[in-house]
Copies of this chain bind each other. A is one copy, B any other.
Amino acid sequence: MRRPRCSSCRGVRPRSHVVGKVSSWIDLDSEDEQLRLDSEITLKQEIAWASHLSLQACLLPPPKRYSCGNYARCVNQILQGMSNMQLWLRIPLEKSELMEDDSTNAASKHPSEGTFDSWELWNSFRLLCEHHTQLSIALDILSSLPSINSLGRWFGEPVRCAILQTSSFLTNARGYPCLSKRHQKLVMGFFNHSIQIVLSGTSLHNVSQEISEDLLVGDNNNHLEGMPVHHALRPYLDYVAYLYQKMDPLPEQERFEIGYRDFLQSPLQPLMDNLEAQTYETFEKDTVKYSQELILLSVSGQYQRAISKALVDRVPDEAASTTKTVLMVVGAGRGPLVRASLQAAEETGRKLKVYAVEKNPNAVITLHSLVKLEGWESVVTIVSSDMRSWDAPEKADILVSELLGSFGDNELSPECLDGAQRFLKPDGISIPSSYTSFIQPITASKLYNDVKSHKDLANFETAYVVKLHRVARLASSQPVFTFNHPNYSSKNNNQRYKKLQFVIPADTGSALVHGFAGYFDATLYKDVHLGIEPSMATPNMFSWFPIFFPLRKPICVPPESPIEVHFWRCCGATKVWYEWCVTSPSPSAIHNSSGRSYWVGL
């Protein structure tokens, strides 16, 4: 056991912790029994010593062959008995070439292919160790990089540091070390995911050691105190610091959301109980803390646009001054959609009569103040009632609602609007006119471990609202359930069933699916959309995070195997719930049968 040498284990933040390094000769899967036994003793002794020194983590040498069952067994035993220390397994970031060791020994190759994919090595190791939370990855970045899709997988994994070899650096025109565009992009990705960069190797760029001051401003400056000015790797460090500073600042919305990243929240129960009050409080807090006004604008803005278009379609210019449109906002909350409606009327010069229906008495108080403050008394009637039971005095031309959850229908918008559409005129308009949920398979070690930490079935059968960050999105999202409003079909039924097939891009390699990210996209009116589906998301919107449907047992997907997924929306007398399962490449259990673990009350 040696403490890390300066030349190999100094990172961007060298003083924040010391990381031990286990002897690299150990080979627990050698054919040589004596070497195997000696390796096991050494590994255990060195880690015990590191533990005694209270190191934060220990670097474990990369597995020397594909079949690393004995190494994993020994590390797993150590993990079972370890209190705080982390183990960082070194893994070369490599795909498609055989390891030197393996090329001479056909038997140790992966049986299904002639290629080498270090992600599979990691995956096998961590499955053997049951996703242990103290087992993480130190990625060795080599001079050539695998495909973008293949790299993407690592962002769903617990990568703690990326070790950049000096040999991976190129030389710029002035003789200084620099990185290829692809390496730069990867390093920026690491920065974004709080993955520490470690420089390793001997200096291969014999440049003068003047420090270019403008490369050392800001945060990074602090980390260099105490480092000899003429450290051989200084030019490399300077370059990495330069990349860090070159990054675009995070957009405001992203900065707001940093604290929410990968934090599992239970979805709302908007109809049942009195949860709404709580929710409003949460939103209230958000407004103060993150100036939510700005953000809500994008939601209200889209609604205003949609309402304007609907008003113009409904009332021709020549009738604008004589025709009064009856508009009902169902679930008016604190009033943003009432405001959007009135602004749309003003913008289009249409006359409006607004009913603001809200079942939450707390929100109704706020509504009354708002109407009084703005002087809307002649236009807006506030109705303190549940839209499902309200007896409307007249029928509406336009029904405006925002009852959408992260997964679209998951806060029971369909059931509410089915109830409310009875006071819509036969040719009336519902805004939104439709919404669709979307899912995509993801790798999400962190979320999986958080769900697992509850040690029960129910949490693995619950959908969570979560700001997804440390995840790998394995395939494009696909639509799941669509609801249209109003819906006068006699067979109207809010049960749904969808079978989907996802194909992971061939150059990704194998993958592990921990569950599915869910989104929605709503058509408010005609071409006006609102949603969080990544490829067409409304910008700058804080109101919805994605939803995460976990899998009780992660599914291994071999290269080019399609993933077949089933989703059901089931409706009972008192509740609505989802069930889900995977049938290919291997069947999972059906999750949340009969809504036993997770449901939304009617």
**A interface residues, Cβ below 8 angstroms from B:** 33-34, 36-37, 67, 69-70, 72-73, 76-77, 80-81, 111-112, 123-124, 127-130, 491, 493, 495, 497, 499, 553, 556, 561-562, 564, 566, 568, 579, 581, 583-584, 586-590, 593-594, 596
Contact = CB atoms under 8 A, between A and B. Distances in A.
A562 B67 CA distance: 13
Nearest to A34: B491
A337 to B, nearest CB: 34
Contact of A587 (B112, B128, B495): B128
B129 A80 contact: no
A28 to B, nearest CB: 9
A73 B562 contact: no
B127 A80 contact: no
B73 A590 contact: yes
B566 A130 contact: no
A70 B129 CA distance: 34
B566 A77 contact: no
B588 A128 contact: yes
Given A111-B562, A128-B587, 20 more contacts: A33-B497, A34-B491, A36-B497, A67-B499, A67-B583, A70-B497, A70-B499, A73-B581, A73-B593, A76-B593, A77-B593, A80-B593, A81-B594, A111-B584, A127-B587, A128-B590, A129-B589, A130-B589, A556-B587, A586-B586
A123 B587 contact: yes
A581 B128 contact: yes
A475 to B, nearest CB: 15
Contacts of A564: 67, 69, 111
Contact of A69 (B67, B124, B561, B581): B581
A556 B130 CA distance: 18
Contact of A72 (B80, B491, B590): B590
A129 B590 contact: yes
A587 B407 CA distance: 33
A202 to B, nearest CB: 37
Contacts of A586: 127, 556, 586
B128 A73 contact: no
The SS class assigned to the A binding surface is mixed
Contacts of A584: 111
Contacts of A33: 497
Contacts of A67: 499, 564, 583
19 contacts: A33-B497, A37-B493, A67-B499, A67-B564, A70-B568, A72-B590, A73-B568, A73-B579, A73-B593, A76-B590, A80-B593, A112-B561, A123-B587, A127-B586, A127-B587, A128-B583, A128-B587, A128-B590, A129-B590
Given A36-B497, A497-B36, A562-B111, A69 B593 contact: no
A491 B33 CA distance: 11
A80 B499 CA distance: 23
Q: How many chain copies does the complex carry?
A: 2
Contacts of A130: 589-590
B127 A588 contact: yes
B596 A80 contact: yes
A112 B564 CA distance: 13
Given A77-B594, A566-B73, A587 B497 contact: no
A587 B553 CA distance: 12
A69 B500 CA distance: 11
A272 to B, nearest CB: 22
A47 B239 CA distance: 71
Nearest to A583: B69
A77 B594 CA distance: 6
Contacts of A561: 111-112
Contacts of A583: 67, 69, 124, 128
A456 to B, nearest CB: 11
Contacts of A562: 111
A266 B69 CA distance: 27
A491 B37 CA distance: 11
A587 B121 CA distance: 11
Nearest to A580: B73
A202 B402 CA distance: 62
Q: Which 10 A-B pairs have the closest CB atoms?
A: A127-B587, A69-B566, A130-B589, A124-B587, A556-B586, A76-B590, A77-B594, A128-B590, A76-B593, A80-B593
Contacts of A594: 77, 80-81
- Most chain B CB within a 10 A radius of its CB, from A112, A566, A590, A594: A590
A122 to B, nearest CB: 11
Contacts of A579: 73
Contacts of A129: 589-590
A128 B76 contact: no
Contacts of A36: 497
A128 B561 CA distance: 19
B566 A70 contact: yes
Nearest to A566: B69
A381 B127 CA distance: 55
Contacts of A77: 593-594
A443 to B, nearest CB: 15
A69 B499 contact: yes
A34 B497 CA distance: 12
A36 B491 CA distance: 14
